[in-house]
Amino acid sequence: MKEVETMKSLLKYYKIDALIPVYINGIGNCTEIIINDESHMKSKTVETCIKNLADYYNISLYHNRINYGQELGITNKVPIVINENLIYIYINVRKPMFDHDSAYGYINYYTIDDVFEQNNYAAIKMKCGRVIQTRQSINVTKKSMLYARLAKDIYKEKNHL
């Protein structure tokens, strides 16, 4: 894993496959940024990284949540729709270690190859071959994937694609 100074130095934003929270002793909450089969560490939280990603694409996370949440009939864990080819879904990947700990990450829906059960929780196999162990059930994970597919259709309808 490489230490990255700025998120802009990462190849391209459209290549980010996943943002996974990691706790590193002496540093605190960090984010593992997965791009294809490479892994980069960022000493910022997942929330900061996803806000930077949204800022890069000029997207309001608040309005994304309101608009797609209403259309999908959900209020939490709303997919983040960047465009029709880049949709991030919420995944719970570790147990919170303290108050306000972000134990969740985001994975690009289009990089998911398979979802299977491992250690009584869902595991996500990415197209690059990497497996991400979650702390949520297969049903919850597949429901998030369904919401991502529906959000894509909503995006296409709203943008006349």
In sequence order, the 6+-apart residues with CB closer than 8 A to the CB of 130 are: 34, 37
Q: Tens of pLDDT along 76-126?
A: 999 999 988 899 999 999 888 877 777 899 999 999 999 999 999 999 999
pLDDT of residue 149: 95
Q: Name the residue among 60, 111, 114 with its Cα closest to residue 89.
A: 111
In sequence order, the 6+-apart residues with CB closer than 8 A to the CB of 21 are: 29, 30, 31, 32, 45, 46, 93, 94, 102, 103, 104, 105
Whether the pLDDT of residue 130 is over 80: the answer is yes
Higher pLDDT residue, 105 or 159? 105
Instruction: Provide the mean pLDDT of the chain.
Output: 88
| Distance separating alpha carbons of residues 107 and 92, to the nearest angstrom | 10
The DSSP bridge pattern shows strands 38-42 and 86-92 to be: unpaired
Q: Is 37 left (phi over 0), alpha (psi -120 to 50) or beta?
A: alpha
* Domain segments of the chain as ranges: 2-158
Residue 100 CB neighbours (<10 A)? 8
pLDDT of residue 109: 96
Average pLDDT over every residue of 46-61? 91
Average pLDDT over every residue of 21-29? 87
pLDDT of residue 11: 47
Task: Output the pTM of the full model.
Answer: 0.88
Name the band, by pLDDT with cuts 50, 70 and 90, for residue 5: very low
In sequence order, the 6+-apart residues with CB closer than 8 A to the CB of 6 are: none
Q: Tens of pLDDT along 65-75?
A: 999 999 999 99
Percentage of the residues of the chain whose pLDDT score is greater than 70 = 91
Higher pLDDT residue, 115 or 39? 115
